[in-house]
Amino acid sequence: MRRSPAAVVAVSAVTTAFGSYPGFLFGFLGPALQADLGLTRFEVGLLVGVCFGATGLGSTVGGHLAERLGARWAVTLDQLVVAVALLVAALVPDYRVLLAAAAVSGFGYALTNAGTNMAVAAALPPHRHGVALAVKTAGVPLLVAVSAVVAVGLAERFGWQLVLAGSVPLLLVVGGLAAAVLPAARSTDRSGSLPGPRGAEGRSVLPRGFLLFPVAAFGLVAGTQPLFSWMVPFLHEAGGVSLSTAGALTSAGSLLAVVGMVVTARASDRAAAANRLPTIAVLCVLIAAGLGLLVAGITGGIGLLLPGLLIATVCQLSAISLLHAAVIAAAPAAVGRATGVTMSGYYLGALAGAPLFGLLVDASGSYGTAWGCCVALVLIGAACFLRCRRVGAAPAGSPVDRQPVSCPGH
């Protein structure tokens, strides 16, 4: 049965949001966890780091598994895994159980990352991938903006265990939607045959040089993850605004970024597909400029901090949304595997970004040094994304029929 492309994209957005939910939820519940279990800030932060780190470490395996299960069952399985993990953590209020739940949930999210990319790639033609994947990715900041208010409020009134347990029915409903709507895609080809290069046993393989993608993703995410994990305390301490105001400004930046993601992706779809990687590189440069405004705002005040926050956040999420489309275009024969390899670098960047930023602030006594290092990481990412245009290019003199799949523009 053919699924509506709009329905596939919508369900992919919802499942992507709920698959990543524990990584943000543990941070939102931090004050409640500290009060109830006597945790330190480091221990709370470790829950978030373990969740995203497990996604990074498990992404390659998750990509392989998603290609075997198909998009529908890979995503459905993840929602069930997260539901069980949160339910166990709610019933057994122990920090070790929370760590295990974070790790299991993080690994499961690798299935959704690969499965939703496979589903969108199978449901829509390549010239519509940009907007579709931007909408899919936008599910995460939208859920973050809502749950940052709702989860914290409920935890203050009813306790963190009820918040975890209350998430379970939602995850089960989302899993049901995935099973009912997502296609059973194992490749991007609607006919069922995989396009592009195959291994000796008929198995699809990644194009030559594809490891540049996870390296580029690491630079981008490691340099920008502090925009989300450290922005509230930074605005409070450097900008002199209240914590509630800092939270509202951060949330507003994420919501505005959703609009920027869709607009950028639509422009990318209308232009040649080969422009996606250069566009990501340009967005990285704009992120670096926004981070530079944050450095200047330490002495210049909120008048520089606010535009720096908005520019960096909007461009970061826009670059992330285009990254998925670029990955699919570079490896159309192995979408699940390519997504898994790329997301390994992506989530290892998420794991490294927050603690290294805090370490630099503590060591230097200044946010400026930490943001400066973020600028360097993002610019390294920009250079790698430009190099990614050569991924899959055949050596001179190689037979055309043996040439690996190239990324757009080759």
pLDDT digits (tens), the chain, 410 positions: 567 888 999 999 999 999 988 887 887 787 788 888 888 767 877 788 788 888 888 877 888 888 888 889 999 999 999 999 999 999 999 999 999 999 999 999 989 988 998 888 888 887 777 778 778 878 887 887 777 677 777 887 888 999 999 999 999 999 999 999 998 877 544 433 334 444 444 445 777 788 889 999 999 999 998 887 778 778 878 888 776 677 777 777 777 777 777 777 676 666 555 678 888 999 999 999 999 999 998 888 888 999 999 899 889 988 887 887 788 778 877 777 787 788 888 888 888 887 788 778 878 888 899 999 999 999 999 999 998 887 755 443 444 333 333 333 33
Please measure the distance between the N-terminal and C-terminal CA atoms of the chain and give it in whole angstroms.
Answer: 34
Residues 6+ apart with CB under 8 A from 392: 207, 208, 209, 210, 330, 331, 403, 404, 405, 406, 407, 410
Partner residues linked to 395 by β-bridges: none
Alpha-carbon distance of 306 to 234, in angstroms, equals 12
102 within 8 A of 347, measured Cβ to Cβ? no
Side chain identity at 258, as an amino acid letter?
A: V
315 within 8 A of 260, measured Cβ to Cβ? yes
291 within 8 A of 378, measured Cβ to Cβ? yes
Q: What angle do CA 250, 252, 255 make, to 5 degrees?
A: 115
The reported pLDDT for the residue numbered 197 is: 47
123 within 8 A of 12, measured Cβ to Cβ? no
Alpha-carbon distance of 323 to 316, in angstroms, equals 11
Tokens at residue 381, please? 């990412």
The reported pLDDT for the residue numbered 393 is: 53
Alpha-carbon distance of 45 to 221, in angstroms, equals 17
Residue 307 CB coordination number (10 Å): 15
Alpha-carbon distance of 21 to 106, in angstroms, equals 10
Residue 359 CB coordination number (10 Å): 11
* Structural domains for the chain: 1-187 (1.20.1250.20), 198-394 (1.20.1250.20)
288 within 8 A of 376, measured Cβ to Cβ? no
Residue 302 CB coordination number (10 Å): 16
The reported pLDDT for the residue numbered 104 is: 94
Report phi then psi at 88, rounded to 5. Answer: -60, -45
Alpha-carbon distance of 119 to 335, in angstroms, equals 10
Angle between helices 231-239 and 367-387 (to 10 degrees): 140
The reported pLDDT for the residue numbered 64 is: 83
Residues 6+ apart with CB under 8 A from 71: 115, 116, 118, 119, 122, 182, 183, 184, 185, 186
Residue 225 Cα to chain centre, angstroms: 10
Tokens at residue 354, please? 């927050």
The reported pLDDT for the residue numbered 307 is: 92
Of the candidates 57, 71, 68, 55, the one whose C-alpha atom is nearest the C-alpha of residue 107 is 55
SS3 (DSSP) at 392 = coil
Q: What angle do CA 254, 8, 84 make, to 5 degrees?
A: 75
Quote the longest CA-to-CA distance of the chain: 69
> Which residue carries 């956040």 as its tokens?
313
The reported pLDDT for the residue numbered 395 is: 42
